[in-house]
Chains A and B, each alone.
Chain A
Amino acid sequence: MIERPESTVASIAQRNLEGYVGFANLPNQVYRKSVKRGFEFTLMVVGESGLGKSTLINSLFLTDLYSKDYPGPSLRIKKTVQVEQSKVLVKEGGVQLTLTIVDTPGFGDAVDNSNCWQPVINYIDSKCEDFLNAESRVNRRLMPDNRVHCCLYFIAPSGHGLKPLDIEFMKRLHDKVNVIPLIAKADTLTPEECQLFKKQIMKEIQEHKIKIYEFPDTEDDEDHKLIRKIKERMPLAVVGSNVVIEVNGKKVRGRQYPWGVAEVENGEHCDFTVLRNMLIRTHMQDLKDVTNNVHYENYRSKKLAAVTCNGGVDLSKTKNQMTRSPLAQMEEERREHVMKMKKMETEMEQVFEMKVKEKKQKLKDSEAELERRHEQMKKNLEAQYKELEEKRRHYEEEKSNWESQQRILEQQKLDASKTMEKNKKKGKIF
């Protein structure tokens, strides 16, 4: 149900070692370093008051987390849902564990429980946010991991099924945190009732598509069998107790009733041991890994997607953007913009050139036109000049002709008149 990230396999050459190298010691190096660093774990318990949450925590970690000096939240009266955390440091076998228990007093206790899950969600998100901010700083140093690694959800032992509040809560939290549902105060159910109850709960969980924490598959057959056994017992029915009672000469933790003792660590009485082994001894690391690789990454990608893809959401583009870091995203956008600008530039350039060419052409044309007209006019004028010259020449010729004619006539006339005069003088005497 919860997807686990797959490892990618690259094409790599295999080589066989021909002798001792020594990197088989790497696991020891890792061991050594991890012990030196110490471990952290944050466990959240959610459920109505009186379901024995604090007692279970004390039983799980064999300590008085909640004691007279540090009373558990359930002993204090709450009006609204609170989220409280207690941090303790425990040591065992040289291994140091910083354990944070997050309690939610007031959950489901009000008359109107709408949104009583909201403070819980806010808390989980705020821890993820803190981690995200720490991870995104420029100067990163100590990054404490305060994210909630596991959420134990306590179901009241009604024997019937899940309550609407249970379903609502689990649905809202199953993709934010590893949810492990538990049947609380299981000593009020007989084994058969318990079986039926478990079946019913699992059925309802599947119906509502609630993704509770799933154990990872292993290749190891033995482990696989163990895991199968655990899966069959889900949800685990638990009983908690701080009181140590003597049963058959053995000191055990249990609850004393007139009709007997319900032993906490007895596998036939309840699933406490299974829970403890799973939560602490075998799968603590895996719970942290799933939180880191799945839940936190979900939170992170949603958060970052909201930042970088703000504004218009084009689905095809968004998908592409998701696989890029925001910085690469900006790089890409910049490149796109540069290309766009280049294109715009060339387009504008083209239009510009074209217009200039047009204008120039026009100018040339009108110049040619004017030239032509001017030429024509000039020719015209020249023709006229020629004509005029012709005419003048003609006239001059005619004039000179006539003038010479006139002169001859004049001469004749003169001669004639002279002769006449002479004649007149001569001839008049008859």
Chain B
Amino acid sequence: MAATEIARQAGEGARAVPLAGHVGFDSMPDQLVNKSVNHGFCFNILCVGETGLGKSTLMDTLFNTKFEGEPTQHNQPGVQLKSNTYELQESNVRLKLTVVNTVGFGDQINKEDSYKSIVEFIDTQFEAYLQEELKIKRTLHSYHDTRIHACLYFIAPTGHSLKSLDLVTMKKLDSKVNIIPIIAKSDAISKSELTKFKIKITSELVSNGVQIYQFPTDDETVAEINSTMNGHLPFAVVGSTEEVKIGNKMVKARQYPWGTVQVENENHCDFVKLREMLIRVNMEDLREQTHTRHYELYRRCKLEEMGFKDTDPDCKPFSLQETYEAKRNEFMGELQKKEEEMRQMFVQRVKEKEAELKEAEKELHEKFDRLKKLHQDEKKKLEDKKKSLDDELNGFKQKKTAAELLQSQAQQAGGSTTLKRDKERKN
């Protein structure tokens, strides 16, 4: 489907002219249909619901085929989304169907974050499409659209009311995807209980402001059937891939000791209604709503988040280039600023470190200057001591030499006196 087929204004400013014969453009819808059929269709369903509510079985029943997967265990640590794509063909129509299952939903003790992975998944698909749409060289024509077109929300058949997990999850999803709530395994509820249950559910949804998908009533061809069906929401379904012989036909059914629940019997459950609405009548509308409402909302939010606006403060419309260029300049400016900042920071650090080291150096020098001074003092003291010793030594030497001289003199004199005496004595 061309991405450009957003609702157009019909003939504004155009004058109506009569035709004088058969021109032939009434074949346009057929041309369009042929093109679509040749191109193939694509549809993506998301099944949200607790483990064991029969999601996979219902898918198998709806599409009359066995899809992949074994029943999942209850011990998943978090909610995961598993998606599988299948190519189906019915008469000349090819359909690329993607079924996304929430594995482990509602199994954890703390379910506060259960909805997050679902929202994330849906947003991821939108993001992928947005990225493709914004590319310079893009191939939207052949893009495999993975956006979720319908979300079947499986409600446990308690018969009382919605669980708080259900309300929280649906509230988070209602602006992102078309939600179709269904009561699963409804063969566990009796008819009277069912009516009360449906009323309770609908009122709870309304009072909590949850927007579920309404079948469109603007096209006369289907307005009637759609509005009737809107009154039957949520659909109470039963799924089964096993066949049981009823009368002389093999029908899909679930066999109990007390009777057989026929899937395609409208008295037994709303399966046929679901199939009619989901596939036969409104599949195209679901795709359109996803593209024109949910995707546009996502896109708008994303672009606004990034700072894109449609008009500048003077209310003049921005052209695409201006926006991009402005963004880019702003962006480059930011980058440069960051670079500058980092450089400045480094310069600062270097300065600081330099100062530190200089301080240390200075201290070191001071220390050694002090030591040197001490040393000088010591040396001086030593010198003084030396000098005094030398002086003493000199003094002593002098004394010694003087004394010795005296002595030798005295000796000489004494010697001569003694000699004299001796001489006298002898005489």
Give the B-binding residues of A (Cβ under 8 A).
Answer: 5-8, 10, 12-27, 29-41, 60-65, 87-100, 131-133, 135-145, 276-277, 280-286, 289, 292-293, 297, 300-301, 303-308, 310, 321-328, 330, 333-334, 337, 341, 344-345, 348, 352, 356, 359-360, 363, 366-367, 370, 374, 377-378, 381, 384-385, 388, 391-392, 395, 398-399, 402, 406, 409, 413, 416, 420, 427, 430
A301 touches B375 (CB 8 A): no
A87 touches B25 (CB 8 A): no
Whether B288 sits at the interface, judged by CB under 8 Å, is yes
- If A133-B320, A281-B25 touch, does A26 touch B41 (CB 8 Å cutoff)? yes
A27 touches B6 (CB 8 A): no
A307 touches B23 (CB 8 A): no
- If A10-B144, A280-B23 touch, does A88 touch B16 (CB 8 Å cutoff)? yes
Whether B18 sits at the interface, judged by CB under 8 Å, is yes
A62 touches B8 (CB 8 A): no
The CA-CA distance from A88 to B18 in the complex, in Å, is 10
A330 touches B284 (CB 8 A): no
* Partner pick for A308 among B219, B288, B308, B324, CB 8 A cutoff: B324
Q: Is the interface of B mostly helix, strand, loop or mixed?
A: helix
Q: A95-B28, A402-B396 are in contact. List 10 more A-B contacts (CB 8 A).
A: A7-B142, A12-B96, A15-B65, A17-B89, A21-B63, A23-B95, A24-B93, A34-B29, A131-B4, A328-B131
A5 touches B142 (CB 8 A): yes
B87 touches A15 (CB 8 A): yes
A142 touches B403 (CB 8 A): no
A-B contacts, 10 of them at CB < 8 A, read A8-B144, A17-B90, A21-B279, A22-B275, A26-B95, A30-B284, A38-B11, A87-B15, A276-B24, A385-B382
The CA-CA distance from A276 to B22 in the complex, in Å, is 11
- If A327-B306, A359-B357 touch, does A92 touch B88 (CB 8 Å cutoff)? no
B144 touches A17 (CB 8 A): no
B361 touches A33 (CB 8 A): no
B: contact size bracket: 35 or more
Contacts of A26 in B (CB 8 A): 36, 41, 93, 95, 283-284
Contacts of A359 in B (CB 8 A): 357
Q: How many Å from the CB of A313 to the closest CB on chain B?
A: 14
- If A144-B8, A323-B136 touch, does A303 touch B321 (CB 8 Å cutoff)? yes
Interface string of B153-168 (1 = CB under 8 A from A): 0000000000000000
* Partner pick for B16 among A90, A140, A341, CB 8 A cutoff: A90
Interface string of B76-110 (1 = CB under 8 A from A): 00000000111111111101100000000000000
B136 touches A325 (CB 8 A): yes
- If A31-B33, A140-B6, A325-B131 touch, does A381 touch B378 (CB 8 Å cutoff)? yes
- If A17-B65, A292-B4 touch, does A416 touch B414 (CB 8 Å cutoff)? yes
- If A21-B62, A89-B15, A416-B414 touch, does A29 touch B281 (CB 8 Å cutoff)? yes
B25 touches A97 (CB 8 A): yes
Stretch at the interface among B117-125, B228-236, B386-394: B386-394
Nearest B residue to A373, CB-CB: B368
A32 touches B17 (CB 8 A): no
